[in-house]
Amino acid sequence: MTDKKEKTGYAFGNTGFLPQEEMLEIGKKKKKLIIGIPKENIKKESRVGLTPEAVEILVNAGHEIIIEKGAGLAANYTDNDYSECGGQIVDTKPEVFKSDIILKIAPPTIEEIELFKQNQILFSSLHFPSQTEEFVRKLMKKKITAISFEGLKDEDGCYPVIRSMSEISGTSSILIAAEYLSNVNSGKGVLLGGITGITPTEVVILGAGTAAEYAARAAIGLGAFIKVFDFSISKLKRLQSNLSSRLFTSVFHPRVLEKHLKSADVVIGAVYLDDKGPQFLITEEMVKGMKKGAVIVDLSIDQGGCIETSVCRSHASPVYTKYDVIHYSVPNIASRVARTASIAISNVFNPLLLSIADSGGVQKQLKDDAGLRHGVYIYNGILTSDRIGNYFGIPSKDIELLMAVF
């Protein structure tokens, strides 16, 4: 952005040299943000986008945070916690949706989209496999700029929200498996891990990414015997190096995997499927051959699943048994530990929102921040995700090209 400051320099004209205006750069104008945090459906989602501590930092920086009554209760943050830190507590969703920026965890419902005003900014997860064409078209009609948690990148090219949630999910998956191996939860009464004189339990992990690494760390800490399968040798080597522990590792091969599943007590599906959709690395026939009372935790279920017998469930009813194998497949597993997960999400969005304010708003930040652009799937009502466009038959445009227009 430039502004006319003074007349310096000369240009040759019909009457000789004439003074010319020099264009000097001026600083970016900081923008006050009004951020709304609606209450989530507590049966499906327990996390909240900002902690009271993050709200205090934003309020002290001159921003306004509007929070629906009870928004943080599931994560054990009271309305008083937020109000003492400068947050404005309101009773109804319409009051929250007057904000310029809406920060949610779960994608907005159709009813919530109706509350949006034109040209608002939405930060939320997308959960693409569970979305409908109506959801996309209603956001477009409201000319919303929608930015997904899943697509956000940081300056290092990493996905900060995905990574932090994967760390939590990986660790949680082992704790969940331990619960359902115990007879307290009608399991076969086996301790996950090992003690002197008893063969340790076997844990098979599909994938070698962040969630897989943290699942392996937790299982190793309990004394279990770990077997990791992945398509990539380099990922397996990196995992081996990061854990500083000898593991059984193998590239995916159906016969090899099937052999090791027969002795597995726990199977963790931690494959990052990206945009590929369901990819069943463990077939129904393989599950049939597993031990009675074994536990499967499919962390890939939010992307469609990597185990054929996995069925998407909720926290209210997370477990079912098929072929005498216990299955746990809940998409937002990190909300089981809502306070930890909320802090992790808040640690991403607090500095991001401050940066957006310093740059002069979301639209200006988007021009300079490739990582933020990567999370955009609707820009001013225009679909920018070709994946969503191809799936629903909606025309899409490249966000990079739109940056040159707006």
Class of residue 154 by CB neighbours under 10 A (exposed 0-12, middle 13-18, buried 19+) = middle
- The residue type of 283 is T
* Residue 142 domain flag: yes
8 A C-beta contact, residue 129 and residue 303? yes
Please indicate, yes or no, whether residues 323 and 342 belong to a single structural domain of this protein. Answer: no
Which of 272, 306, 331 terminates a domain? The answer is 331
Residues 343 and 250 in one domain: no
Query: 219 in a domain, yes or no?
Result: yes
In a domain, 17, yes or no: no
Nearest to 307 by CA among 274, 261, 275: 261
By residue range, what is the domain housing residue 109? 34-148+337-403
Tell me the mean pLDDT in the region 188-204: 93
Same domain, 165 and 308: yes
pLDDT tens per residue, range 128-147: 877 899 999 999 999 999 99
Would you say the pTM of this structure is higher than 0.75?
Answer: yes
3-state class of 170 per DSSP? helix
CATH (domain of 91): 3.40.50.720
CB contact burial 91-103 (16+ within 10 A = b; e otherwise):
eeeebbbebbbbb
Q: Is the dihedral of CA 249, 254, 259, 262 positive or negative?
A: positive
Lowest mean pLDDT among 17-31, 179-193, 271-285: 17-31
Q: What letter would DSSP give residue 335? A: G
Residue 29 pLDDT class (50, 70, 90 cuts): confident
Are the beta carbons of 235 and 258 closer than 8 angstroms?
no
Catalytically active residues are 127, 302
395 pLDDT more than 60 = yes
Identify whether residues 139 and 172 lie together within a single domain: no
27 vs 165, more confident: 165
Q: Could you give the C-alpha distances from 306 to 206, 262, 309, in angstroms and in order?
A: 9, 18, 9
CA 19 to chain centroid, in Å, comes to 56
Q: Nearest to residue 69, comparing CAs of 48, 51, 90?
A: 90
Query: How far is Cα 356 from Cα 350, in angstroms, rounded to an integer?
Result: 10
Do 264 and 390 lie in one domain? The reply is no
Phi and psi angles of residue 41, each rounded to the nearest 5 degrees, phi first:
-70, 105
In a domain, 252, yes or no: yes
Domain annotation covers residue 13:
no
- How do residues 347-373 score in pLDDT, each as one tens digit? 999 999 999 999 999 999 999 999 999
Q: What's the number of domains the chain is made of?
A: 2
Q: Residue 297: how many CA atoms within 13 Å on its side-chain side?
A: 27
pLDDT at 79 over 60: yes
Q: What is the pLDDT of residues 209-233, one digit of tens each?
A: 999 999 999 999 999 999 999 999 9
Rounded CA Rg of the chain: 25
Q: Per-residue pLDDT for 15 more than 50?
A: no
